[in-house]
Amino acid sequence: MMSDRLFGIHGAALELRSHRMGLLTSNIANAATPGYQARDIDFASALEARLGGTSREDTIEGAARFRVPTMASMDGNTVELANEQMEFAENAVAYSATLTFLTGRVETVKRALKGE
């Protein structure tokens, strides 16, 4: 696809980081829900699979993982709020950096099309 050649790894990375943001948000929102199992994706393996041509759904399903808590909760909830917030912040920074790169790339293409 043209977008793959134009944006390279960053288009797939943004898509996966966006999905991961949703998972982390869900984990944080369910921090007090008894029996809730925190989930995440193995970003590196998901990106590798996505770049290898695996569909979005199959990539996410294959990279999905349940978190193993450091300290088990009595109600079966595996969310460790501090860890989830840290993961969310790190993912948000990476998402923002990827988005900034892609925005710059689009601006470069727009300038090239205008002949600037």
Vertex 10: Cα angle to 81 and 86 (nearest 5): 15
Q: Is 64 left (phi over 0), alpha (psi -120 to 50) or beta?
A: beta
The answer to whether the beta carbons of residues 83 and 9 sit under 8 Å apart is no
At residue 34, what are phi and psi to the nearest 5 degrees? -60, 135
Vertex 15: Cα angle to 38 and 105 (nearest 5): 145
Q: Which residue has the tokens 């990375």?
A: 13
For 16-59, write each residue's pLDDT tens digit: 999 999 999 999 999 999 999 999 999 999 999 998 989 989 99
For 58-74, write each residue's pLDDT tens digit: 999 999 999 999 987 99
Q: Summarize the confidence of residues 94-98 as an average pLDDT.
A: 96
**pLDDT for the residue 4:** 61
Residue 2 has pLDDT above 80, yes or no: no
**pLDDT for the residue 20:** 97
